[in-house]
Amino acid sequence: MDRDLLDINGLSKSFQKNSVIISHAGVDQSFSVYQHALVSYFSRNSLVWKINNKPFPHRLTFPLKFVSYEDKLCFGPQISPTEITKIAFLHVFNINVTSADDYRANVRHNVSDWFAKLNSKSDVQWIIVINTNRAKDRKTKNSIVEKIKSDFAKYPNRLFDLPDTSDQAAFVTVVQGIQQFLFQHLTLVMEIWDKSLKNQYERKKQHTWEPFAYFSSMTEYARLYWSFGAIEYAMSIFDDLEKLLHEFVLRSGEPESPKWLAQLLNTKIDDRPTLISGGFSVQRISKSEAHYLGMRNYLLCQQIIMSIHLYQQKMKSNDAAPSLRSDCAVGIMQRALITIEAVKEFNNLMNNKRDIPLTCCWTWWTVSESLSICQLLCDVSHLNVAPVILSRLHLARFDALFVLAKQLKLNPEDSETLGKWLLSIKPISLESKVLSSAIKSNEQMCTEMEKVHDVCVGSLNHANRHRFVWNITYKLFNYLRSSNSKCPLQKLSINRQMLKTLPIQASTAQMLKSLCSELLESDSTTDEMLTLIFFIVQCENGKDEKIVENLMEKMRKRAEIDGKLVDLQSISLAEIDLFNVQIDNFEAVQTTDSILEIRALIDSKIGFSLENAKIELIFSGATTSSIAQQANLSVLSLQHEKKENICRLVSEFKLKSQQSAQPIDENGPLSLKIALNAQNLAPGNNQLEFRTDISKIGCFVLEKCTISTESFKFATCDVLARRPPALYCISTPHSVTVINDSQHFYAGVMQNLEIEVEARCDIPRETLLTVEPSSPNFQFLNESFVWANNLQITLQPFDSMEKRRLHVKVWLKIDSTICESAAVQKRSILVKWMDRRYNLSLQFVPVMVINSKTSMLTTDILLEVELNRAAGPNITTVIESASLTTDPLHADSKFSESLTATPLSQFPIEGDLLSIANLIWKLPTKGSLVKHRLHLDYTVKQQDPPLKYTFDDIVELTVPDVQFEICTQVLSQQPGAQLCRATSPCHFVISIRFLKEMSCSLLVVLDADDRMWTLVERTKMVTIKDSGLGQLALTIIPVVAGYLPFPNVSIYECQLVSEAVIPGNDILFFNRSAGKQIRVLSPNNSDNNNFGKQDVVRGSNRIKKTIEKLFD
């Protein structure tokens, strides 16, 4: 069968069914009408066959075939089981006459001869069909039937009357009779066949037993059931036969194995046992294929066709599975693989070296052709249900080609013989041409091996069979190197997943070194290369020093390229740690500056020695990660709940899960490192001792152990310890105090502090003590007699409980906050020593109290600063110089530059205790809020060493820019009256002076308490003359008698537009009458005489309370 014309239907039709032969005699023309109906009925209807009163597990269909009667079609004892299918199952004689006389004259002698021949045979099934449709009337029909029945009175059940073709009941009777006799003959035949097969099987241990005869009989036995539609039963027979052949092969090595097994080897393979080219069209296996390969190939062909028949049968049903195509393809591949492995096992057990080249060619054909058949069903390359089977088929094809190449290389004389054998087989397929060219040329053989290798590697990787990938690649490279061919290094797929599939043993290392020899000599430093070399080193336990040196050199180059050490765990394939670290118990509680000793046992599993290895034990003081937590030890933290005012023990694991994981700085204050340099860290156990000085304080838990060299590093948290490896570094708190803190210190001048330092434990090294300001404005006098922001003092080693006093000269600068009063104020300094911070609180009194006030003249404003020595030490301060400048506030031209006030005092000014000194300046500018910087330089008499002090601070002064001044008075409107009376109108006279002496218009507005004044005229416009003077009078009425304050006056800029006054901005002015009051007399009203004394007293009290309330 041509590969290009291959299809499912063509394969299915290649099987020729064994027909159920029925012979017929008599009048054929009349019986031919019923033949088509019978063939159609038995081919479409599946029948239940009962054998030994039990139904056969599979329903049968009979493919009927009607032939003319011959004597050789009769069953007899001389018929062998293999010839049973050629014998008629049933013999039919058809009688069609017009009358009884016609029967006696023309038919009776013929049917008698026919019956005599059948009766001479044993176990022959026959029937007689009487057709009376030619008779004229019913009486004639009855007479014909009665006459025939009288002749065959002993066999009434074998006579069937068909009066007319339209008589359906008579036809059904005939069908049932034929079915009954067919089953009787089938039962007889199968009993004889089963007995024959059983007898043959029992003689299998005899030397004269012929396996080919038994094999042929079994295959024909199965094909008979296959022809009757029992495909699954026939497939089980083929499977049993396959197992039987395999069992024979397995027992070939036993001492009592039958001698006929050699017959399977003596039969030469002369023809090509293929599938497509002729295997499917072969119905029976020939004697020339009596070898093991031929029988297994024949079985495979029949199994493939049965699988296709079964697939087509299920596809016609309504409950066909969606995966029917892929299931059928998988079944075909499984059977092909089983057959190939069985033939290979037979050659190995029987030591069949003669047929190895032919077997390899057959394997090549079988894999290619079976996959071509599966391709008709589905794309097997993307078949996810059976990637292992597909990969094993490709592997079998590669192994076959590899074995063929090795065989021909050992025996070059076989190449010519094998080439002729391939070309002698017709038709010549594509596989035959490829094999012929590969046999003739070594280069072509290498090319074909690479092609098959690539396909096989892809299939094996898809099936996760990575060890087979290494195996076939190793075979390919060895063959290519032996043939002086160039190895395709790009085909080496080295990755972690594939290396993990290899066992860690010396043979693996040898294979990898041979396979990757070119790669190992390259300069590559990739992760894959380092992983490969390190895996080889571990397989050999470092015995190959060149490989170890190569590994160290490549890691060193990789570290130089990356700028960091290579992580050894990242290139390791071992699931366990490369180093096991175990530490002994050690003193968990350590004091600062003590010596900690830890003994450790490190088990190295890397396979080679490490020189100059640095080993570090890293302790961590953070709770985010530790060996204790990784070991699921109980770690609790005490938490205080403010709302409920209770304490709870909370798991640190829960706290850590609620917080974001923060990386731990190994060099930070929460980390403690203990390092050791090992000259030689050999494979196996290494006893090490760590020693370090404790310089940190805190609770530390062993976080990890790191081992590093100049090229790589390794870190592990799996450290074995009998108890949690915690280290408690404590320090007896040292003491730093101020001896003379009971007295008051004076701010503004140098003060001498006596600081006592006490060491509560031995301090064997020099320490640094730093004094810094905790509050602002502190200065410290250093050894160069220069004021500095901090002071550092180097202290020599201390003995336990040793005390020392330090003299620190400090100056607290005075500012406006301190100098407000002579009250005691607290300030503090910070002392840092031995990783601790000490805040020392001191009480200060200012050496002088500074007060200021402003005075306003007509055109100038004066600032008077009072320096009061009300408290402080009995010293004489000397004010060397003083300056007052404005501080720039805005970007406008008025305040953009600093202005200096004009001093009105002479310097220097000495001040003793309880003395007062005044400093006066004429301010340079005016404004609502102007910042002035006051700077004083002063010294202290008879101070050793002589030092200079300064006062520099910002003073906020309100210096308004006044351009108007007013004077107000209240005059009675009564003629000759000097004082105003209540309820009587009065003139409120306002005199205004404009300091610039120019004319302008102003709007004057009055405001007063309604309980004291009634404002008859609240607003009035006034015009200032060119002389700068203006005056106006407004009418007001006092409501009550007594001393009343003047009404409030407000002045605004204004404009006169169309006789309408439009007010503008308010104007600052200086009121010369501010705070004055006027006496108002009681009203002069006659009605007041009618009041009694009590009313007068009540009224006076009311006015008095009103005035008191006003003044309050």
Q: How far apart are CA 389 and CA 462, in angstroms?
A: 11
Q: What is the DSSP code (8-state) at residue 316? A: T
Taking all residues of the chain, what is their mean pLDDT, rounded to a whole number? 81
Comparing 757 with 511, the larger pLDDT belongs to 757
Give pLDDT, residue 666: 57
Give pLDDT, residue 498: 67
Question: Both tokens of residue 129?
Answer: 């069909």
Of 48-52, 123-127, 366-370, 661-665, minimum mean pLDDT range: 661-665
Comparing 791 with 654, the larger pLDDT belongs to 791
Residues 470 and 582 grouped into a single domain: no
Q: How far apart are CA 437 and CA 858, in angstroms?
A: 128
Per-residue pLDDT tens digits for 1019-1054: 999 988 888 899 999 999 999 999 999 999 999 988
* % of the chain beyond a pLDDT of 70: 84
Boundary residue ending a domain (678, 709, 730): 730
Comparing 1104 with 453, the larger pLDDT belongs to 453
In a domain, 345, yes or no: yes
Residues 952 and 984 grouped into a single domain: no
Q: What is the mean pLDDT of residues 694-718?
A: 85
Q: How far apart are CA 299 and CA 242, in angstroms?
A: 8
Of 141-150, 222-231, 1089-1098, minimum mean pLDDT range: 1089-1098
Tell me the pLDDT band of 625, cut-offs 50, 70 and 90.
Answer: very low
pLDDT at 664 over 60: no
Q: What is the mean pLDDT of residues 878-906?
A: 73
In a domain, 889, yes or no: yes
Tell me the pLDDT band of 644, cut-offs 50, 70 and 90.
Answer: low
Give pLDDT, residue 772: 92
Tell me the pLDDT band of 771, cut-offs 50, 70 and 90.
Answer: very high
Cβ partners under 8 Å of residue 141, min gap 6: 132, 135, 163
Residues 439 and 324 grouped into a single domain: yes
Residues 905 and 1041 grouped into a single domain: no
Give pLDDT, residue 1087: 44
Residues 62 and 110 grouped into a single domain: yes
Residues 389 and 535 grouped into a single domain: no
Give pLDDT, residue 800: 78
Helices (H), 251-291: 261-266
Of 59-68, 282-291, 951-960, minimum mean pLDDT range: 282-291
In a domain, 669, yes or no: yes
Q: How far apart are CA 134 and CA 163, in angstroms?
A: 9
Asked if residues 104 and 78 have their Cβ atoms less than 8 Å apart, the reply is no
Angle of helix 28-44 relative to helix 168-202, nearest 10 degrees? 70
Comparing 332 with 626, the larger pLDDT belongs to 332
In a domain, 167, yes or no: yes
Residues 571 and 582 grouped into a single domain: no
Comparing 646 with 361, the larger pLDDT belongs to 361
Per-residue pLDDT tens digits for 26-60: 876 667 778 888 888 898 888 999 888 889 989 99
Q: Please report, for the domain that includes residue 935, its CATH number.
A: 2.60.40
Q: What is the DSSP code (8-state) at residue 763? A: B
Residues 1035 and 1051 grouped into a single domain: yes
Q: What is the mean pLDDT of residues 706-719?
A: 88
Residues 788 and 655 grouped into a single domain: no
Boundary residue ending a domain (730, 758, 773): 730
In a domain, 925, yes or no: yes
Q: How far apart are CA 817 and CA 955, in angstroms?
A: 11
Residues 122 and 43 grouped into a single domain: yes
Q: Kindly report the backbone phi and psi dihedral angles of residue 84, in degrees, each rounded to the nearest multiple of 5, phi listed first.
A: -65, -35
Q: What is the DSSP code (8-state) at residue 486? A: P
Q: How far apart are CA 1091 and CA 311, in angstroms?
A: 137
Of 566-575, 634-643, 727-736, minimum mean pLDDT range: 634-643
Per-residue pLDDT tens digits for 824-866: 888 899 999 887 889 989 988 888 888 877 766 656 677 778 8
Of 447-461, 469-483, 664-678, 711-725, minimum mean pLDDT range: 664-678
Q: What is the mean pLDDT of residues 458-470?
A: 83
Q: Strand ranges (DSSP E) for 709-801? A: 712-716, 719-720, 726-730, 735-738, 745-747, 750-759, 767-773, 778-781, 787-788, 791-795
Q: What is the mean pLDDT of residues 556-572?
A: 87
Q: What is the mean pLDDT of residues 1072-1095?
A: 67
Give pLDDT, residue 665: 56
Give pLDDT, residue 780: 92
Q: Strand ranges (DSSP E) for 1042-1084? A: 1042-1045, 1048-1057, 1060-1066, 1069-1071, 1077-1081
Residues 607 and 483 grouped into a single domain: no
Per-residue pLDDT tens digits for 214-244: 888 888 888 888 888 888 998 999 898 888 8
Q: Kindly report the backbone phi and psi dihedral angles of residue 539, in degrees, each rounded to the nearest multiple of 5, phi listed first.
A: -65, -35
Q: Please report, for the domain that includes residue 597, its CATH number.
A: 2.60.40.10
Comparing 133 with 1107, the larger pLDDT belongs to 133
In a domain, 1107, yes or no: no
In a domain, 37, yes or no: yes
At 507, the amino acid letter reads S
What are all long-range contacts of 155-159, with beta carbons under 8 Å and residues at least 24 apart?
A: 158/126, 158/127, 158/128, 159/127, 159/128, 159/130
Q: How far apart are CA 147 and CA 108, in angstroms?
A: 10
Q: What is the mean pLDDT of residues 58-87?
A: 83
pLDDT at 631 over 90: no
Q: What is the mean pLDDT of residues 940-946?
A: 83
Per-residue pLDDT tens digits for 1054-1083: 887 777 888 888 888 878 887 788 999 988
Residue 978: CB atoms within 10 A of its CB come to 9
Report the candidate in 184, 132, 137 with the shortest Cα–Cα distance to residue 159.
Answer: 132
Q: How far apart are CA 1034 and CA 1024, in angstroms?
A: 16
Report the candidate in 309, 310, 421 with the shortest Cα–Cα distance to residue 365.
Answer: 421
Residues 825 and 892 grouped into a single domain: no
Asked if residues 56 and 50 have their Cβ atoms less than 8 Å apart, the reply is yes
In a domain, 199, yes or no: no
Tell me the pLDDT band of 1013, cut-offs 50, 70 and 90.
Answer: very high
Q: How far apart are CA 735 and CA 741, in angstroms?
A: 15
Tell me the pLDDT band of 926, cut-offs 50, 70 and 90.
Answer: low
Count CA atoms closer than 13 A to 890's CA, side-chain side.
Answer: 7
At 191, the amino acid letter reads E
- If one counts the domains in the chain, the total is 7
Structural domain of 237: 211-493
Total count of residues recorded for the chain: 1112
Q: What is the mean pLDDT of residues 585-611?
A: 83
Give pLDDT, residue 640: 63
Instruction: Work out whether strand 126-131 and strand 90-96 pair parallel, antiparallel, or are unpaired.
Output: parallel
Residue 186: CB atoms within 10 A of its CB come to 21
Give pLDDT, residue 102: 87
Q: What is the torsional sign of CA 491, 496, 502, 508? A: positive
pLDDT at 869 over 50: yes
pLDDT at 928 over 80: no
Q: What is the torsional sign of CA 459, 461, 463, 468? A: positive
Supply the pTM of this predicted model.
Answer: 0.55
Comparing 741 with 341, the larger pLDDT belongs to 341
Boundary residue ending a domain (672, 706, 730): 730
Question: Both tokens of residue 557?
Answer: 């180059």
pLDDT at 896 over 60: no
Q: What is the mean pLDDT of residues 899-914?
A: 83
Tell me the pLDDT band of 337, cut-offs 50, 70 and 90.
Answer: very high
